Amino acid sequence: MESGRTAGRRSALERTQEALFPTVGQSVASVAALALIGFVAYAFIDWAILRAVFTGSDGSACRVPNAGACWPFVTHKIDLFLYGRYPEAELWRVKLTYALALAGLVPLMMPRVPYKLPLALYLLAVFPVIAFFLLYGGAFGLPVVGTELWGGLLLTLVIASVGIAASFPLGILLALGRRSEMPFVRWASIAYIELVRGVPLVTVLFMSSVMLPLFLPPEVTIDKLVRALVGVALFSAAYLAEVVRGGLQAIPRGQYEAADALGLGYWRKMGLVVLPQAIRLVIPGLVNSAIALFKDTSLVLIIGLFDLVGIVQQSAQADAQWFSPQTAATGYFFAGAVFWIFCFGMSRYSAAVEDRLDARARG
């Protein structure tokens, strides 16, 4: 909020006074806010540094009275938090997968780097196949690492990225279906979207983990992780469909008509003319959905898979030697910080993209 005055050169002190203490009421608010900031900052520093325990090989160091954060718990368990029980000898495979993902993502996210299309194709078509064989193994002489050993941040990233990649095309199809002129297609899409959006993810996960095996013929069994992925993707597709639909509604009729006039068929009209514009419009919504999905991966704890939150919870509870009043809190702090960095990063990036597109639109 700008204050109306436009004085020439004012001292910093005056500017501060202007901003924080213009009136009595405002001054009270400022003092209260400052007090709150000071209190929170002090409490946090006190817990995380002043009273914290930094060394120790088990929880006994943290069981001293009035101890703050128990950092050894995080440093000793860091591999477990990041990779679950993935065998140590095979960890290079996970790290290589991360590196390959970054190799595709980083240039794709930088505005001025060319070759966007091949990069996107690599990420969507080539990389998942490589990642599957790297992480799971069973080919090219790599021993199989069963998904029951996957956990921690690795599992969070796998579920989130597979969920996003799988639900995106499905969401677009559902959005097109909901705006289709064919009554049955429209009806089926609406039914699916509203049905899924009306229930909690927990029940969808229960359904995919408990009921999916019953839906399939007795000869077919699917991996627990795959079941969770199916649940997450089906759930998230309905939400993405609504976001994409918002974009489709915002495209002026003229665009559709122009594509018709060019004699384009339905799929080309949508794929080449309408969808690219619609998706550009709803990038913030898509990123919000991605963030929501990323956060929701922690719910797989309820069906017995341990992502980052789950594994922190598991080790804080199951490991008696680490038991101390602050063990769990320290683990949660670590997990929270990791999630926060990822989610906040995504939202900042999407804001930057939006600004750039706006600037381009303004020409």
Of residues 275 through 334, those in contact with other proteins by CB under 8 A are 291, 295-299, 301-304, 309, 313-314, 316-318, 320-321, 323-326, 328-329, 332
Smallest gap from residue 20 Cβ to other proteins (A): 6
Tokens 């029980």 identify what position? 85
Name the segment binding other proteins (CB under 8 A); options: 25-33, 71-79, 109-117, 274-282: 25-33
- Long-range contacts (CB closer than 8 Å, 24 or more residues apart) made by 39-43: none
| CA-based end-to-end distance of the chain | 28
| Of 282, 288, 297, nearest in space to 338 by CA | 297
Instruction: Please pick, from the candidates 10, 116, 197, 268, the single residue that binds other proteins as defined by CB under 8 A.
Output: 197
Can you read off the two tokens belonging to residue 87?
Answer: 């065998």
What's the Cα-to-Cα distance from 299 to each of 8, 200, 231, rounded to whole Å?
Answer: 56, 11, 11
Can you read off the two tokens belonging to residue 223?
Answer: 């991996």
**Alpha-carbon torsion angle 249, 251, 254, 259, nearest 10:** -100
Smallest gap from residue 107 Cβ to other proteins (A): 25
All residues at 6 or more sequence positions from 178 whose CB lies less than 8 Å from its CB, including other chains: 186, 189, 190, 193, 241, 245
| Of 187, 285, 291, nearest in space to 245 by CA | 285
Q: Which is nearer to other proteins, 55 or 66 (CB)?
A: 66
Smallest gap from residue 346 Cβ to other proteins (A): 9
Smallest gap from residue 83 Cβ to other proteins (A): 13
Q: Give the C-alpha separation, 275 to 279, whole Å.
A: 6
40 and 33 in contact (C-beta within 8 Å)? Answer: no
Smallest gap from residue 127 Cβ to other proteins (A): 19
Instruction: Please pick, from the candidates 64, 105, 202, 351, the single residue that binds other proteins as defined by CB under 8 A.
Output: 202
Instruction: Please pick, from the candidates 336, 349, 351, 355, the single residue that binds other proteins as defined by CB under 8 A.
Output: 336
Smallest gap from residue 304 Cβ to other proteins (A): 5
Smallest gap from residue 187 Cβ to other proteins (A): 10
Does the footprint of other proteins cover residue 199 (CB under 8 A)?
A: yes
Q: Which of residues 214-273 bind other proteins (CB under 8 A)?
A: 214-222, 230, 233-234, 237, 261-263
Contacts with other proteins by CB under 8 A: the residue count is: 88
Q: Which is nearer to other proteins, 29 or 49 (CB)?
A: 29
Instruction: Please pick, from the candidates 185, 190, 283, 353, the single residue that binds other proteins as defined by CB under 8 A.
Output: 185
Name the segment binding other proteins (CB under 8 A); options: 99-107, 157-165, 204-212, 271-279: 204-212
Query: For 216, what's the count of Cα atoms within 13 Å in the CB-facing half-sphere?
Result: 14
**Can you say whether residue 61 is alpha, beta or left, with left for phi > 0 and alpha for psi between -120 and 50 degrees?**
alpha
Binding mask 32-61 for other proteins (x = CB under 8 A): -xx-xx---------------------x--
